[in-house]
Chains A and B, each alone.
Chain A
Amino acid sequence: SSELTQDPTVSVALGQTVRITCQGDSLRNYYASWYQQKPRQAPLLVIYDKNNRPSGIPDRFSGSSSGNTASLTITGAQAEDEADYYCNSRDSSGNHVVFGGGTKLTVL
């Protein structure tokens, strides 16, 4: 079982704002990173550190954290944002990497 917990599915109306959450004890000491994965593609890093975006990632993607919960927010969701989203961190020991179970985002 994953040490990071995500809601399996989330939906959002086109142009609206959606928040995807990730919970886990290790997130009290680690910022989560977030990945977008579209069908038959490798995961793509969209958020890392406190709230940093790699080059080329639109600024509608943002990250935040509070306590044991990390959040990925998409402000003004677009059709192309429909994908699976995974959070990622180290575990509480720091010796292993963990992924959340993933959230399937549907843009209506």
Chain B
Amino acid sequence: QVQLPQWGAGLLKPSETLSLTCPVYGGSFSGYYWNWIRQPPGKGLEWIGEINHSGSTNYSPSLTSRVTISLDTSKNQFSLKLSSVTAADTAVYYCARGWYCNGAGCYKYYYYMDVWGKGTTVTVSS
């Protein structure tokens, strides 16, 4: 069973860089999309970005200037970096595995995230 025991620093000062890592235990990267999602206190889920097994990335338009998602296949993990953080970046950050059906075999396209990390609380405060 695939597990995503994410980890990273939980307290940052404004202007610092957030850095989180998500090891992938019990599975491979192949065929999947690897996502980062965040949830500010009391608010909904916000997609940050994704990377596929080939290293191709997509980022949220609202965060693309500050986000980098990378893959380390030798360590079986993927990572998130978010630069120049402010209090507005305070949130619980989740990593998740995604599956995208968008090929000829799909009657209608679909996308879902079936495995999630437990979440890391990140607080930005001076």
* Chain A residues close to B by CB (< 8 Å): 2, 29-33, 35, 37, 42-45, 48-50, 54, 84, 86, 88-90, 94-102
Q: In terms of DSSP, what is the predominant structure of the interface of chain A?
A: strand
Q: In terms of DSSP, what is the predominant structure of the interface of chain B?
A: strand
Contact residues in A for B112 (Cβ distance below 8 Å):
33, 45, 48-49, 88
Q: How far is the CA of A98 from the CA of B60 in the complex (A)?
A: 9
Given contacts A29-B108, A31-B108, A94-B102, contact A101 B113 (CB under 8 A): no
Kindly state whether residue B47 has any CB partner on chain A within 8 Å: yes
Kindly state whether residue B119 has any CB partner on chain A within 8 Å: yes
Given contacts A29-B109, A31-B109, A42-B116, contact A96 B60 (CB under 8 A): yes
* Chain B residues close to A by CB (< 8 Å): 35, 37, 44-47, 50, 58, 60-61, 94, 96, 98, 100-102, 107-114, 116-119
Asked whether, in the complex, the Cβ of A97 is within 8 Å of the Cβ of B94, the reply is no
Indicate which residue in B94, B96, B109 contacts A30 across the interface (CB closer than 8 Å): B109
Closest to B46 in A: A99
Asked whether, in the complex, the Cβ of A99 is within 8 Å of the Cβ of B117, the reply is no
Asked whether, in the complex, the Cβ of A96 is within 8 Å of the Cβ of B58, the reply is yes
Q: How far is the CA of A31 from the CA of B109 in the complex (A)?
A: 6
Asked whether, in the complex, the Cβ of B116 is within 8 Å of the Cβ of A97, the reply is no
